[in-house]
Structure 1
Amino acid sequence: MASIDGPRLAPQSGVARQLVVLLHGLGADGNDLIELGEQWRSSLPDAAFVAPHAPDPCSNVPMGREWFPLTLTDPREFWRGVTYAAPGLDAFLDQELARHALPPSKLALVGFSQGAMMALHLGLRRPTPPAAIVGYSGLLVLEDGEGPGGLMPLARNAPPILLIHGDQDDVVPVEMFFFSKETLGAAEIPCQWHLSAGLAHGIDGEGLRQGGLFLAQSFGLPYPGRA
């Protein structure tokens, strides 16, 4: 697996007290999501943002990147994929925290589509849970043959989770959103959620607003716009 790097945004305040890692979807790259950091900087002035490029070239989109290959012909490829990509991404997260001299508790993971799969998989399994996970248009990936019970040992240290999805998503169907939130609930892992009416595979203004508010809340910051 290739090394991981990508665009960064320095904290607006000049001093990093939190780190937000933005994980893109299949066939995109870090430039696709760093704009989220631009949108959230005013409400998270002490957050550094980084949007790493996935390490592998995308087989379906020559100019894009992928965390793992997806053919959608084998249900087992999701679990194989997240477990394949997790070690490299985990090491990158530790490197970025060290870059800013931050403890693991000051990390937040935000993912879109395949990036949301990675955020949920890794965020639930880091020794020190992140401050928050925000998953846009994604899926909670379970080990082959496992049900919610396989996640129950992770519930004790589970971070705050927000799932956001469009009800007209034609890439990651909305049924996957319902599966994810219901599986987390059955595993006794609380999550908040928002379903965007009329939205296809993307992030709308309301989803962006809710994600920013959730991150601020999870980092213990005042409600944006209030003293």
Structure 2
Amino acid sequence: MVELNGPRLEPLSGQARQLVVFLHGYGADGNDLIEIGRAWQPLMPDAAFVSPHAPRPCGQAPMGREWFPLTFRDLNERWTGVNAAAPVLNAFLDAELQRHNLPGSALALVGFSQGTMMSLHVGLRRAEAPAAIVGYSGMLVTPESDAEMERFAADIRARPPVLLVHGDSDDLIPVQALFHAAQGLAALDVPVEFHISAGIGHGIDQEGLRQGGEFLARRFNRRATP
């Protein structure tokens, strides 16, 4: 199995009590999101941040990486893709938690685009629920067939609070994907909040960053309170 790696930020406090893992989008790499961790450090001084490079070279952007290939010729390719990439990501998450001697409940996943697809897919299937998931400009990947949809719902093991953030001018993954994801998560009894960034395309604005950082800080503080 491929071993993931990427840039890291150690906690400002010197002692990791939480772990925030950034999952980048298609054609980028771990360097694309790690600076968000630097911006969020004052909100979460006890958090370690890591942004692994996805396991595959990107077919459409050879200098970048992908969690799974996208050809847009197969309706089920996203579902096939998230399932294929999940084991290597789970192994990385387990190793990082162990490295910091943290329980699975101290984990937060933050995804962008294809990274949001991975965050939701893996985060809802962890044996121990993460503290939170933040998904930017992404979608909840579901299978095409009704038979597989039954298995999809049965496979959900964790229901961490989720924040979805999306630009209303996104022409790559339209904002309707946020509403579909929020509806799908609510149907699975996953607590979900969302924020729509006005005039923003396939990207993250300052308000979206603020909302994401404050959401995680609140969730971590709740976990820390007896």
Per the alignment, in what secondary structure is the counterpart of residue 195 of structure 1? strand
Deviation, structure 1 residue 177? 1.3
Change (3 A) 1:30 1:156: closer
Name the residue aligned to 1:159.
160
Per the alignment, in what secondary structure is the counterpart of residue 14 of structure 1? coil
For residues 1-227 of structure 1, the aligned pairs below 5 Å read 2-146=2-146, 152-153=153-154, 157-220=158-221
Deviation, structure 1 residue 143? 2.3
Aligned AA (1:186): A
Q: Is 2:168–2:175's contact at 8 Å kept on the other side of the alignment?
A: yes
Long gaps (5+) in structure 1: 223-227
Question: Distance between the aligned counterparts of 1:157 and 1:30, measured in 2?
Answer: 25
Question: Distance between the aligned counterparts of 1:21 and 1:165, measured in 2?
Answer: 19
Deviation, structure 1 residue 26? 0.2
Per-residue Cα deviation, 1:95-128 (whole angstroms, up to 9, x for no partner): 0001101111100000000000000000000000
Q: Is 2:125–2:157's contact at 8 Å kept on the other side of the alignment?
A: no
Deviation, structure 1 residue 189? 2.0
**Mean Cα displacement is larger for which, 174-183 or 89-98?**
174-183
- Aligned-residue sequence identity (percent) comes to 60
Report the TM-score, using the length of structure 2 for normalisation: 0.93
CA RMSD of aligned residues (A): 1.7
Question: Distance between the aligned counterparts of 1:53 and 1:19, measured in 2?
Answer: 17
Deviation, structure 1 residue 221? 6.0
Question: Distance between the aligned counterparts of 2:157 and 2:60, measured in 1?
Answer: 39
Per the alignment, in what secondary structure is the counterpart of residue 125 of structure 1? coil
Report the TM-score, using the length of structure 1 for normalisation: 0.93
Per the alignment, in what secondary structure is the counterpart of residue 219 of structure 1? helix
Long gaps (5+) in structure 2: none
Change (3 A) 1:194 1:150: farther
